[in-house]
Structure 1
């Protein structure tokens, strides 16, 4: 057991099963001494194995449909009851696109589905921050982290309208980061993670090829779910008290590359 988060308390959104990044973050937060409340949608709670994680981390599970503001407000209220007051960190690890699930091409988006994508994957982040801000629920120098992907800045084939959602998510982090920072010194950041094998990510077309390409392009290789969890723990800790409103890349160097030797060799082999 570590002590990096000793005495800290937080809410973790999005743990579904042991493939989830949020699951790894919860495990690491608990190992570093934090108390946590776990939450996911009622449907996800029925589908996943979050109760196993809750038992392991001595955590309460609170259902929350993030499309409903009243659910989020009840979650924040319940967390403050469980913790006996304010808390110190929040992880937003939520994303879902009906267009991706139904393999609808980006040029032919179902706009009703797009509304759901944006609401669940991005606007929910604003709602969570709104509820915490209104209730003054996060301690000074607290930390909020949302998971994103570089498709918010660069076109990634197959990522579809999730790219639009991630771009909005990152904008919310900057805009709310200013408000929350000035009032309560709460820092808000996004972590742009390498492509990672998760239950949700598996719905993205060509994920296996994307993983292979990113691995070959990245000097350090892809960051896996545990790497991401460790990075999030550092952002929840007091070691990063002056880091806010940033999109932080945890991708093994991929985002700084144009062409690697390994990918060029593979390209030449394919050309023959």
Structure 2
């Protein structure tokens, strides 16, 4: 059901790769809610991914770009304004990748060149995106920019590796740039800290399936899926949230406020029962 929340608005969605992508879901819902959009991803992702199918479905143009390149980002914003017929009202940054995670390098044995790439792709690209947009005056007053984050920016999660550092930087950029852009142009900038979601990028995190099960047991409302995240993003793009900025908004079923849930405690106790003898002594393998 459409509410026309984005009727007449123009947007850019960075990061849609395939139907698993949160950015893919956001793009679909944005158009359903009345927006016109452009899509952007790396040239390799455009060639290898399924974004052309999304482009055909939504009747929108794909602009290949490396989000770590200022020159490429300038092209994206300039072309988007030309194609859509005016300044941009909303932008989604759904970009993240860690070469260290892909190479299975542990956090205490990082390749620092790879760490630099992780930070550039997953966080500094957000700063570049905002800086380019501001210098070009590409985002309309009272526009909205959202980047996707994760609670590992603030707490330690096994296997999340240097992506946790990237998400911390991403959230800091949101606050710092949000002050400047809000003060000068009323543009609001927020991050959404989403439940673990089995996207293409998420599947590379060690133990992702177990992490999703754990967070689902801990969250009173259960994990938020990609479709539900898209709903939240659309709300943040709409005029209903014009005074929300510089926030890390948790969209995780309540996980971020939990210490221990009953479901998680029951499972925890069962794990001891499985490894104890009849006298309650732990049996070591």
Report the TM-score range of the alignment, normalised by the length of the smaller protein: over 0.9
1:174-185 to structure 2, matched below 5 A, reads 174-185=175-186
Give the whole-Å Cα distance in 2 for the aligned partners of 1:133 and 1:98: 30
Query: Which residue of 2 is the match for residue 73 of structure 1?
Result: 74
Alignment-derived partner of residue 209 in structure 1: 210
Give, in whole Å, the separation in 1 of the partners of 2:198 and 2:236.
22
SS in 2 for 1:271: helix
- The CA deviation string for residues 133-153 of structure 1, in whole angstroms up to 9 with x for no partner, is 001011111000000000000
Distance in 1 between residues matched to 2:146 and 2:48, nearest whole Å? 25
Q: Structure 1, residues 14-41: CA drift from partner, whole Å, max 9, x if none?
A: 0000000000000010000000000000
Cα deviation code 1:108-158 (max 9, x no counterpart): 100000000000000000000011000101111100000000000000100
Map Cα deviations across residues 231-268 of structure 1 (whole Å, 9 max, x no partner): 00000000000000000000000011110101111111
Q: Which residue of 2 aligns with 1:54?
A: 55
3-state secondary structure, aligned to 2:198:
coil
- TM-score (norm: length of structure 1): 0.99
Aligned residues between the structures: 272
Q: What is the distance in 2 between the residues matched to 1:201 and 1:47?
A: 18
> SS of the counterpart of 1:166?
helix
Separation of aligned partners in 2, 1:186 and 1:247:
16
Aligned to 2:106: 105
Tell me what 2:270 maps to.
269
Partner of 2:10: 9
2:94 aligned partner:
93
Output the aligned Cα RMSD. 0.6
**SS of structure 1 residue aligned to 2:63:** strand
Distance 1:69 1:218 in 2: 39
- Give, in whole Å, the separation in 2 of the partners of 1:191 and 1:19: 18
1:122 counterpart SS class:
helix
The aligned residue for residue 127 of structure 1 is 128
Runs of 4+ aligned structure 1 residues displaced above 6 Å come to none
**Offset at residue 2 of structure 1 (A):** 3.4
Counterpart-to-counterpart distance in 2, 1:171 and 1:198: 24
> 1:183-222 maps to which residues of 2 (within 5 A)?
183-222=184-223
Which residue of structure 2 lines up, in the alignment, with residue 23 of structure 1?
24
Q: Distance in 1 between matches of 2:228 and 2:177?
A: 26
Q: Secondary structure at the match of 1:168?
A: helix
Distance across 2 between alignment mates of 1:180 and 1:266: 46
Q: Deviations over 1:211-235 (max 9, x none)?
A: 1000100000000001100000000
Tell me whether 1:250 sits opposite 2:258 in the alignment.
no
Give secondary structure in 2 for the equivalent of 1:63.
coil
| TM-score normalised over the length of structure 2 | 0.95
Corresponding position of 1:143: 144
Paired with 1:157 and 1:46, the residues of 2 have a C-alpha distance of 33
